[in-house]
Amino acid sequence: MILKVRTKAGPGSTPAYGQIAEHLRREIRGGRLADGKRLPTVREMAKRLGVSRDTVAVAYEALAAEGLVESTVGRGTFVRAAAPSPKGTGATPPLSPLVERLLERERARPRFVDGGESVPLHAIVPDPSLFPLDAFRKAIQRALRKEGGALLAYGPPQGHRGLREAIAARLRALGVEAGPDEVVLCQGASEGISLALRLFASPGDAVAVEDPTYGNVLSAVAGLGLVPVGVPMGEDGPDLAALEQVLARPEVKVLYTIPTFHNPLGTSTSVAHRRALLEIAARLGKPVVEDAYEIDLRYEGRPVPPLAALDRSGLVLHLSSFSKALFPGVRVGWIVARGRLVDALLAVKRSTDLGGSTLLQAALAEFLGSGAFDRHLARLRRALLSRRKALLEALAKSLPAGTQWTTPDGGYQVWVELPEGIDTRELLAEATKEGVQFSPGDFFRVDGRPSRALRLSLATADEAAIRAGVAALGRAVRERMGAGRRASRSRAVHV
Amino acid sequence: MILKVRTKAGPGSTPAYGQIAEHLRREIRGGRLADGKRLPTVREMAKRLGVSRDTVAVAYEALAAEGLVESTVGRGTFVRAAAPSPKGTGATPPLSPLVERLLERERARPRFVDGGESVPLHAIVPDPSLFPLDAFRKAIQRALRKEGGALLAYGPPQGHRGLREAIAARLRALGVEAGPDEVVLCQGASEGISLALRLFASPGDAVAVEDPTYGNVLSAVAGLGLVPVGVPMGEDGPDLAALEQVLARPEVKVLYTIPTFHNPLGTSTSVAHRRALLEIAARLGKPVVEDAYEIDLRYEGRPVPPLAALDRSGLVLHLSSFSKALFPGVRVGWIVARGRLVDALLAVKRSTDLGGSTLLQAALAEFLGSGAFDRHLARLRRALLSRRKALLEALAKSLPAGTQWTTPDGGYQVWVELPEGIDTRELLAEATKEGVQFSPGDFFRVDGRPSRALRLSLATADEAAIRAGVAALGRAVRERMGAGRRASRSRAVHV
């Protein structure tokens, strides 16, 4: 059989592991790879195809999960007899196709090494060493003393009123006029994303997203049976002409956007772009989900009003959370919506999980009221500014000519585009060995096609670690540029 | 126009408010009720149709939400010009049809009066006065001392390992062999239900449920775009012949069942029934979601092994939570699953909310380890046994001949069937005035048709309140039996 793997980025192309899996799947189902036939080892296959072992391993695992091949340690990977029967004792019942798709996305997640010697520049996970633990412990005690057992009963599905009032006051400082009845608390911004998308889009509908975008929103979309439609990012946010075309499509029911400290780019759109985006959405009657998850983390420049502050049409749902600005473990995010949309959010939430923990919500209200949150934010912003400075200096020093990166005014992430011809998914394994981990760009792409970009995070590494990590990245890139040019060309091999 | 409302229970019939709303919708859309036309007042309409004002009010509210009518206080309810435009400034963007269905379910929820003089026999919400608050506060402190900031970072999506180990140990005591890697923590059993159903059923698929069943599972099913198919309850759990027919239908992907302390019935199935049910599910290759949410609350009789303990096919997902046995505010439930199903649950969970609060999970682990949970359970079971005794005695004393009820061995709920001809949804308003609230049976029915049954809860009222509440129920029923017979007949009126 002949297998060609295209590892060079191109619109609409499938990731390398997907191409390999799909090819073998067809061969097995078509009987051209017979029962019992041994596949090439991961190492052989990777070499023949000019892809990384990780890519081949992911493809083999996908086939094993579907019951099409079986791996035995020390012997190899073998084609299994026909398709497995979904029925009968001991068999796993057939999973929903949506869940199979989610599992495939999970398998395609970049693999990171925990607690190794590599500098963790990959995850946007706040640094526990910065957590104001003592102040929060006291806030829990105060809340329990004041409100007692009610905090452990079912709370209102909309969330603790005191916290909603505190959030509404903070929103007003951002220019968003909203009362506590227009704030719905949720399980982190991530639950908020699912709830907000479900309001407008039914299974089979489409959702407009920026391309690249937050990787997990692509999982949320897939899990809900929705179809993501990418809007390419221009110099100042999503390209407006493309946005208008996408939103005009009847099957596209809602736009998901991150105008402030975009994930993964780190950039923010201008006021003019925000107004233009809102004008398009209002004209086409399409709601806008504004993810403002890092809006509290500005360390430089002037604040730009969020979409919700500029919106006159009532089409914007604004969502944010404490996960990045404080700590994720409280699992508290919020959605700001108007009128009937609040009822709708609550109806969907009730059908899903009956609401969050009132105890933690009340403790957060105490924590905000005591001024501890603002003190923490001031400290966190200083740390981020200093880390970003170290990162940008190190990039200028260690990365080869032709590399470009963003210069964010806040948040945790910086986006780096390497010179043409490098697939950062392939690069990750080598970089990890050199001493740094990052998030490869393909994970943020709507179609998951290979990317020469990567995301670096300021969340957990300090200045010294950042410098060491970027130096390691520079070494890995140069090595790849020297040795890896072959891998970026298409190849044909016989398997 | 001629409107007939059938308020008598019949298979496949629509609830009264739905019949009224649907009729008026057709009249308005068909132009037979012109723009500006004033509808009869709620009071007039209720009188003419022989239904309660609540029923008419719900129908009018549904139409108002759709923009078909508009109510002005003091003037009345008027038909609005044509259908409202979904576009343009200030308009609410169109909601997904699934969400409209959920909103309709929310409007159809029985309306309860909070904090009034009525005895609350309606909600299954544990009594905060029984919460072991001090012990739990100390458990939070111990957990924070031991594990520090890690408890406020993102935890493993599967949940805190210590708590999963403690749960696995408790499961073994129930006869369920499961290790901590087979336990997935979730946001109460309610999130567990959604996760488990999503594994097997895609939008458009069907889910087999007992009829009657837990009201909120019907919302979960509706919100996911699934179709519930009811299996009637016989003497000993769901009728097995009907179950087999339903599970044999290809579009039915999974069974949701509550074998122990059924909600709303309060009854438990025999071991023989459980084995027969599992045999049918295994033969047809259909997975079974076992909701064991009150399994820790047995106060009488011998324990019956849960389905997960009898299962040899790997088709059972077992789920439970701390919400009823301890307190709901920790929002911790768990699902027990095998092999690939665990990966699938985690993939769906990650796409939805990235996991729960590790702090509360760790505190629960401490709380269980200290023996405080078992002490609390012993106390709670004694309270429930004494309350059930009071309830059954009061029912025998106060309810008219022809009334039947269940005699549960555990849990919070008792199911009461009133004599023929009474619609308990209609009865609720009168009973509330008499001094008691209950959950009307229609809310637990798959098709929401009127019911002469109701659910009583032992959760929040003590023995004296229970006796007073059941006496009030008896008065309301006798009144209705005397005066209300007309209302159970079909009527034709001109509106």
Higher-pLDDT residue of A57, B378: B378
- Cβ under 8 Å to B: A residues 133-152: 133, 136-137, 140-141, 144, 148-152
pLDDT band at A223 (very low <50, low <70, confident <90, very high): very high
Whether residue A39 has pLDDT greater than 50:
yes
> How distant is the Cα of B425 from the closest Cα of chain A, in angstroms?
21
State how far the alpha carbon of A188 is from the alpha carbons of A195, A321, A451, B293, in Å: 11, 6, 29, 25
User: In this complex, which of B133, B141, B351 lies closest to A148 when CB atoms are compared?
Assistant: B133
Burial of B477 (0-12, 13-18, 19+ CB in 10 A): buried
> Best interface-test mutation with B: which of A315, A357, A364, A443 has the largest number of B CBs within 10 A?
A357
Distances from the Cα of A35 to the Cαs of A79, B86, B298, in angstroms?
5, 57, 52
Q: Does the structure show a pLDDT above 90 at B134? A: yes
Beta B404-405 vs B333-336: how paired, if at all? unpaired
Interval B142-151 mean pLDDT: 94
User: Which residues, in sequence order, are CB contacts of A145 under 8 Å at separation 6+?
Assistant: none
Read off the pLDDT of residues B9-52 as tens digits, 9 standing for 90 and up.
Answer: 433 345 677 778 778 877 777 677 888 888 888 888 888 887 77
pLDDT exceeds 60 at position B59: yes
Alpha-carbon Rg for chain B, nearest whole angstrom, is 24
Give me the numbers of helices (H) and strands (E) for chain A, helices first please: 16, 18
CA distance A380 to chain B (A): 15
A158-172: average pLDDT: 97
- Is the confidence at residue A437, as pLDDT, over 90? yes
Indicate the pLDDT class of residue A11, thresholds 50, 70 and 90.
very low
Which residue of B94, B140, B284 is in closest CB contact with A140?
A: B140
Rounded to whole angstroms, the Cα distance separating B90 from A315 reads 8
Residue A18 has pLDDT above 90, yes or no: no
Would you state the pLDDT for residue B46?
A: 80
Q: How far apart are CA A409 and CA A393, in angstroms?
A: 15
Res A3: pLDDT: 64
Beta bridge partners of A77: A71
In this predicted structure, the answer to whether residue A90 has a pLDDT above a threshold of 70 is no
Instruction: Summarize chain A as % helix, strand, coil (round to 5).
Output: 45, 15, 40
In tens, the pLDDT along A175-212 reads: 999 999 999 999 999 999 999 999 999 999 999 999 99
pLDDT digits (tens, 9 = 90+) for A444-485: 999 999 999 999 999 999 999 999 999 999 999 999 988 755
Cross-chain Cβ contact B99/A125 below 8 Å: no
Please indicate if any CB of chain B lies within 8 Å of the CB of A350: yes
A286 contacts B93? CB cut-off 8 A: yes
- With CA atoms as reference, report the closest residue to B413 among B374, B435, B445, B444: B444
Is the predicted pLDDT of residue A493 greater than 50, yes or no?
no
Laid out side by side, the sheet with B316-321 consists of B183-186, B333-336, B316-321, B288-291, B252-257, B206-211, B227-234, B237-238
pLDDT at position A17 is: 73
DSSP for residue A443: G
Residues recorded for chain A: 495
Query: How near does any CA of chain B get to the CA of A128, in Å?
Result: 5
Which residue of chain B has the CA closest to A279? B89
Whose CA is closest to A42, among A53, A28, A27?
A53
- ipTM value for the complex: 0.82
User: In the predicted model, is pLDDT for residue B485 greater than 70?
Assistant: no
C-alpha distance from B96 to closest chain A C-alpha (Å): 5
pLDDT beyond 90 at A487:
no
Higher pLDDT, A427 or B44: A427
A279 CB-near residues (< 8 Å, 6+ apart): none
Cβ atoms of B398 and B464 within 8 Å: the answer is: no
**Mean pLDDT value of segment A385-402:** 97
Q: How deeply is B382 buried, as exposed, middle or buried, from its count of CB atoms within 10 A (0-12, 13-18, 19+)?
A: exposed
What is this structure's pTM? 0.83
- The percent of residues in chain B predicted with pLDDT above 90, rounded, is 72
Which one has a higher pLDDT value, A90 or B239?
B239
Per residue in A322-349, pLDDT tens? 999 999 999 999 999 998 999 999 999 9
List the 278-317 stretch of A: residues with Cβ below 8 A of B. Answer: 282, 284-287, 312-315
Report the pLDDT value the prediction gives residue B6, as an integer from 0 to 100.
55
Residue A12: pLDDT band by 50, 70, 90 thresholds? very low
Q: Is the pLDDT of residue B484 over 90?
A: no
* Closest chain A CA to residue B220: A351
User: Looking at the predicted structure, is the pLDDT value of residue A310 above 50?
Assistant: yes
Q: What is the pLDDT of residue B73?
A: 67
DSSP state of B152: G
A235 burial via Cβ count (<10 Å: 0-12, 13-18, 19+): exposed
Do A214 and A263 touch, CB atoms closer than 8 A?
Answer: yes
CA dist B193 and A153 (Å) reads 20
- Mean residue pLDDT of chain B comes to 89
Cβ atoms of residues B13 and B449 within 8 Å: yes
Task: Determine phi and psi for B18, rounding to 5 degrees.
Answer: -65, -40
pLDDT digits (tens, 9 = 90+) for A350-382: 998 888 899 999 999 999 999 999 999 999 999
Indicate yes or no: CB of B87 within 8 angstroms of CB of A285.
yes
Min Cα separation B492/chain A (Å): 34
**Closest in A99, A103, A282 to B198, CB measured:** A99
pLDDT tens per residue, range A117-148? 899 999 898 988 889 999 999 999 999 999 99
Asked if A361 and A155 touch (Cβ cutoff 8 Å), the reply is yes
Most confident of A272-281, B7-16, B69-78: A272-281
Compute the average pLDDT of residues A247-254: 98
Which pLDDT score, from 0 to 100, does residue B447 have? Answer: 92
pLDDT value of position A38: 85
**Which pLDDT score is estimated for B81?**
58
Among A476, A387, A376, A382, residue whose Cα is nearest residue A423: A476
pLDDT at residue A2, rounded to an integer: 55
At residue B416, does pLDDT exceed 90? yes
pLDDT at B89: 41
Q: Residue B467: which residues within 8 A CB-CB, separation 6 or more?
A: B390, B393, B394
User: Which residues in chain B (25-64) have CB-CB distances under 8 A to chain A?
Assistant: none
Percent of chain B at pLDDT exceeding 70: 91
Q: Hey, which bits of A246-367 come out as E strands?
A: 252-257, 288-291, 316-321, 333-336
User: Which region, left, alpha or beta, applies to residue B345 given φ > 0 means left and ψ of -120 to 50 means alpha?
Assistant: alpha
Burial of B440 (0-12, 13-18, 19+ CB in 10 A): buried
Provide, as residue numbers in chain A, all residues whose Cβ is less than 8 Å from the Cβ of B97: 202
User: Is the pLDDT score of B262 beyond 90?
Assistant: yes
Find out whether B484 and B490 touch, Cβ atoms under 8 Å: no
Residue B364 vs residues A231, A461, B170: alpha-carbon distances, Å: 45, 32, 13
Residue B370, pLDDT score: 96
> Does residue B109 carry a pLDDT above 50?
yes
